[in-house]
Amino acid sequence: MSLSINRRRLLQAAGATAVASAAGTTFADAQPAAAALVVPPARPDTGVSAYPFELGQVRLTAGRWLDNQNRTLSYLRFVDVDRLLYNFRANHRLSTNGAASNGGWDAPSFPFRTHMQGHFLTAWAQAYAVLGDTTCRDKANYMVAELAKCQANNGAAGFTAGYLSGFPESDFAALEARTLSNGNVPYYCIHKTLIGLLDVWRYIGNTQARTVLLALAGWVDTRTSRLSSSQMQNMLGTEFGGMNEALADLYQYTGDGRWLTVAQRFDHAAVFNPLASNSDQLNGLHANTQVPKWIGAAREFKATGTTRYRDIASNAWNMTVNAHTYVIGGNSQAEHFRPPNAISGYLTNDTCEHCNTVNMLKLTRELWLIDPNRAAYFDFFERALANHVIGAQNPADGHGHVTYFTPLKPGGRRGVGPAWGGGTWSTDYNSFWCCQGTGLEVNTRLMDSIYFYNGTTLTVNLFAPSTLNWSQRGITVTQSTNYPVGDTTTLSLSGTMSGSWSIRVRIPAWATGATVAVNGATQSVDTTPGSYATVTRTWAAGDTVTVRLPMRVVLSPANDNAAVAAVTYGPMVLAGNYGNTTLNALPSLNATSVTRTSTSSLAFTATANGATVNLAPFQDAHGYNYTVYWSVSGGTGTTTHKLVNVGSGLVLGIQNMSTADGGLALQWGDTGTADHNWVVVTEGGNVKFRNVNSGKVLGVENMSTADNARVLQWADNGTADHLWTLLSQGDGTYKIRNVNSGKLLGILNGSTAQGAQAVQDSDNGSADNRWRLVANG
């Protein structure tokens, strides 16, 4: 946090502690809410090419995601609303009705108390929308009614009309004067309240929530309209959440241009201007202060069609995912961005703040709706959701409490150490961190990004046991799978169908050899990794679509050091189980020893430091010390890799298996010849690719810096064109940038043909500029 008092010190002062909660219940008997939004937006989003289903149209069935949802629902039904209202009532000079106060970030003396209540409002509203859960609906409605009383008492409390918070309005005067020094982030809290009220209005139909929302938004307008542009920009140096998001959404739902004007006052020039010019200046910034602004930029694009907003959001996503993201999909260390590609030097106890990843999922979804052919968005989404977010919830806690940080140091453990240094579990009433709030939200909307549509075309982006009620067309889609334990998922269709329409299924970038079968018959469709496979036909009730996504063990090197790598299997990151053993350094892994030992679970063994170690999905790494990253000597040591082009699915080799200097690099089907195998050799933060057949290294003809210069092999004479930088794309693929030219390894004209020449090319976003490093053996 960019304040004199940061979150760590505030947490320390609050003395947050972890406690275990009682076992929860399931909610299979809850009834789904109506399929459509209770309150539809007044204005359609601009610039989108795909559309989400409403929350009530998709239901999770038995599996890990449903377990997470049920634990969170148990807590949402349990929590005492009067305790959550304590600070609002006290601040607005009303009786606290004998309720106990909370601890942690909602303690009466904590600077930014009452941020958490907006998260509860959102989670309750989502729970009602998804399941028709009346307990959650009633809690949300009760809180709104009591907040309305607080707002109505502003005159007696000495506050301006519309104000609503748990701390004095004078904090805003100090914020505007840049004299606020108590650690408060006032608009951060207001943002949460605005969004929570909006969600209760749109998902439950509570018009009182709309009234309170508009009054609070009006207060924001009055407060900010009197500031000069420079005063406003200076004030934006203090964390303000996604105020631009909340107000742009209010514009979309009301159609009142007033709210767009207020939203745009929160466009933070110091952050937006570099992003608009595609300049990565994230180093040192408080990470989760930025991501909500980027979500706001995406929403402002959809409200206005102004492409600068879209570019800000997409550039921010590209920078973060490609240069600032750990293998589990999380970003930041000690809550802050570090230099681009600085990964291996920041494997600590305070990596991967949970909020950041939840918000990156929101940003990813917003961007994919604009560009639904870019499968890389959901390749990242899947990895971050499966490895970080799902695993951040404690499966042994009936209330679904979560970690703040997810440690990635060797020997790290979830739930051990203070929240500001290692990820203590949240509690019922004594934590209320930002990450606890986003945990409530994300675990009540896990189903919202499985299926999408455009017209009559259905897109399947995620693979989880679930049922889609496409009520607008009278179609039900049931997805049955034990993915990722198994590599297949089956979609079963029922209902009334007519005419020809299409089903699109994401083929992850790591999935070579994927197949799609309809009623058991394999279809002749394009299953290029990192794309969408589309089946168009006249469907009938009873039809099934079975998608197979073959998985294999792959090493995923850190961006800045190929001698440090994680082990992945399909979308899952594997962690080594070290029990209670203390690790002082990364274990040295024999990469060729990683072996799956079970067909009914993702259980693996490997040899590290000369001893056998068990590996399992990182989301299941609970109750023991683990390592996610490993030392792999000499880059990947004697381990050999194939370089698989994402655009073509073909592998990089040398023409005619030549062993001569100048032998041309080209792509070919994987025939098993030695020239298709490469050793990745680390040199500083870069790598060389040494061909197993010839012993020569990959370089660029005549050290050219031009586009389409040919890539070839040559004796290792130390020239800069022999060095390459691996740029992780966050989905198991890499861009491979030549150190001499700054250009990317690609295929001439993006060809998918066997024998096509490998070249260097400017980064134009094409699939042939991305590669997968697939370990042999």
- In this predicted structure, what is the pLDDT of residue 188? 98
Answer yes or no: is pLDDT of 10 > 60. Answer: no
* Lowest-pLDDT choice from 198-202, 273-277, 481-485, 558-562: 558-562
Helices and strands in the chain: count of H runs, count of E runs: 18, 32
Answer yes or no: is pLDDT of 310 > 70. Answer: yes
In tens, the pLDDT along 55-75 reads 999 999 999 999 999 999 999
Could you tell me where the beta strands, DSSP code E, fall in 539-610?
Answer: 544-548, 553-558, 561-569, 572-577, 589-596, 604-608
Q: Say if CB 217 and CB 194 are below 8 A apart.
A: yes
Instruction: Return the sign of the alpha-carbon dihedral for residues 298, 299, 303, 309.
Output: negative
Q: Mean pLDDT, to the nearest integer, of 257-273?
A: 98
Q: Which residue has the tokens 């130390």?
A: 718
Q: What angle do CA 721, 724, 730 make, to 5 degrees?
A: 155
Q: Please report the domains of the chain, with CATH numbers, ordered by start residue.
A: 7-30+63-449 (1.50.10), 451-481+488-548 (2.60.40), 553-775 (2.80.10.50)
Give the CA distances from residue 336 to residues 278, 290, 381, 506, in Å, rounded to whole numbers and listed in that order.
Answer: 20, 10, 21, 32
- In this predicted structure, what is the pLDDT of residue 28? 37
Cβ neighbours for 771, distance < 8 A, ≥ 6 positions apart: 643, 644, 645, 646, 652, 733, 734, 735, 736, 745
- In this predicted structure, what is the pLDDT of residue 634? 46
Answer yes or no: is pLDDT of 270 > 90. Answer: yes
Most confident of 184-188, 557-561, 760-764: 184-188
pLDDT bracket for residue 521 (50, 70, 90): very high
SS (H, E, C) 188-203: HHHHHHHHHHHHHHHH
Q: Within a 10 A sphere around the Cβ of 486, how many other Cβ atoms?
A: 15
Q: Within a 10 A sphere around the Cβ of 461, how many other Cβ atoms?
A: 22
- In this predicted structure, what is the pLDDT of residue 715? 82
Answer yes or no: is pLDDT of 53 > 50. Answer: yes
Answer yes or no: is pLDDT of 99 > 90. Answer: yes
Cβ neighbours for 689, distance < 8 A, ≥ 6 positions apart: 643, 678, 679, 680, 681, 697, 698, 724
Q: Mean pLDDT, to the nearest integer, of 181-207?
A: 98
Picking from 340, 334, 333, the residue whose alpha carbon sits closest to that of residue 685 is: 340
In tens, the pLDDT along 314-337 reads 999 999 999 999 999 999 999 999
- In this predicted structure, what is the pLDDT of residue 25? 32
Q: Which residue has the tokens 């023991």?
A: 624
- In this predicted structure, what is the pLDDT of residue 13? 38
In tens, the pLDDT along 409-454 reads 999 999 886 776 666 899 999 999 999 999 999 999 999 999 999 9
Separation between Cα atoms, residue 287 and residue 726, nearest integer Å: 23
- In this predicted structure, what is the pLDDT of residue 684? 67
Separation between Cα atoms, residue 645 and residue 358, nearest integer Å: 30
Q: Mean pLDDT, to the nearest integer, of 84-108?
A: 97
Q: What angle do CA 380, 383, 388 make, to 5 degrees?
A: 120
Q: Say if CB 188 and CB 110 are below 8 A apart.
A: no
- In this predicted structure, what is the pLDDT of residue 424? 87
Separation between Cα atoms, residue 328 and residue 425, nearest integer Å: 19
Separation between Cα atoms, residue 108 and residue 166, nearest integer Å: 8
Picking from 242, 383, 382, 371, the residue whose alpha carbon sits closest to that of residue 299 is: 242
Q: Within a 10 A sphere around the Cβ of 177, how many other Cβ atoms?
A: 11
- In this predicted structure, what is the pLDDT of residue 421? 60
- 755 conformational bin, left if phi > 0, alpha if psi -120 to 50, beta if neither: left
- 182 conformational bin, left if phi > 0, alpha if psi -120 to 50, beta if neither: alpha
pLDDT bracket for residue 711 (50, 70, 90): very high
Looking at residue 543, the DSSP 8-state letter turns out to be -
Q: Mean pLDDT, to the nearest integer, of 81-93?
A: 98
- In this predicted structure, what is the pLDDT of residue 777? 63
Q: Say if CB 252 and CB 297 are below 8 A apart.
A: no
Global confidence as pTM: 0.85
The torsion angle over the Cα atoms of residues 310, 313, 319 and 325, rounded to 10 degrees, is -140
Q: Mean pLDDT, to the nearest integer, of 640-662?
A: 92
pLDDT bracket for residue 389 (50, 70, 90): very high
Structure tokens at 652: 């990089």
Separation between Cα atoms, residue 393 and residue 90, nearest integer Å: 32
- In this predicted structure, what is the pLDDT of residue 19? 27
The percentage of residues in the chain with a pLDDT greater than 90, rounded to a whole number, is 84
Is 66 in a helix, a strand, or coil? helix
Give the CA distances from residue 520 to residues 59, 479, 548, in Å, rounded to whole numbers and listed in that order.
Answer: 26, 16, 12
Q: Within a 10 A sphere around the Cβ of 15, how many other Cβ atoms?
A: 11
Separation between Cα atoms, residue 82 and residue 97, nearest integer Å: 8
Looking at residue 114, the DSSP 8-state letter turns out to be T
Mean pLDDT of the chain: 92
Answer yes or no: is pLDDT of 29 > 60. Answer: no
- In this predicted structure, what is the pLDDT of residue 419? 75
Q: Mean pLDDT, to the nearest integer, of 396-403?
A: 97
Separation between Cα atoms, residue 534 and residue 347, nearest integer Å: 40
Q: Say if CB 693 and CB 657 are below 8 A apart.
A: yes
Query: How does DSSP assign 687-710, residue by residue?
Result: EEEEETTT--EEEEGGG--STTPB
Separation between Cα atoms, residue 366 and residue 77, nearest integer Å: 30
- In this predicted structure, what is the pLDDT of residue 636? 43
Cβ neighbours for 358, distance < 8 A, ≥ 6 positions apart: 389, 438, 439, 441, 442
Instruction: Report cis status (omega within 30 of 0) of the bond before 484.
Output: yes
Separation between Cα atoms, residue 689 and residue 700, nearest integer Å: 12
Answer yes or no: is pLDDT of 87 > 80. Answer: yes
* Lowest-pLDDT choice from 359-368, 467-476, 477-486, 674-683: 674-683
Structure tokens at 71: 């634990």
In tens, the pLDDT along 529-551 reads 999 999 999 999 999 999 999 99
Separation between Cα atoms, residue 528 and residue 534, nearest integer Å: 11
Separation between Cα atoms, residue 714 and residue 695, nearest integer Å: 9
Which uninterrupted H or E stretch holds 123? helix 116-131
- In this predicted structure, what is the pLDDT of residue 694? 85
Q: Which amino acid is at 115?
A: H
pLDDT bracket for residue 33 (50, 70, 90): very low
Q: Say if CB 99 and CB 93 are below 8 A apart.
A: no
Answer yes or no: is pLDDT of 637 > 90. Answer: no
Q: Say if CB 447 and CB 58 are below 8 A apart.
A: yes
SS (H, E, C) 365-428: HHHHHHCCCCHHHHHHHHHHHHHHHHHHECCCCCCCCECCCCCCCCCECCCCCCCCCCCCCCCC
Q: Mean pLDDT, to the nearest integer, of 373-379?
A: 96
* Lowest-pLDDT choice from 281-285, 416-420, 529-533, 608-612: 416-420
The percentage of residues in the chain with a pLDDT greater than 70, rounded to a whole number, is 93
Separation between Cα atoms, residue 512 and residue 649, nearest integer Å: 7
Q: Which residue has the tokens 């990895």?
A: 383
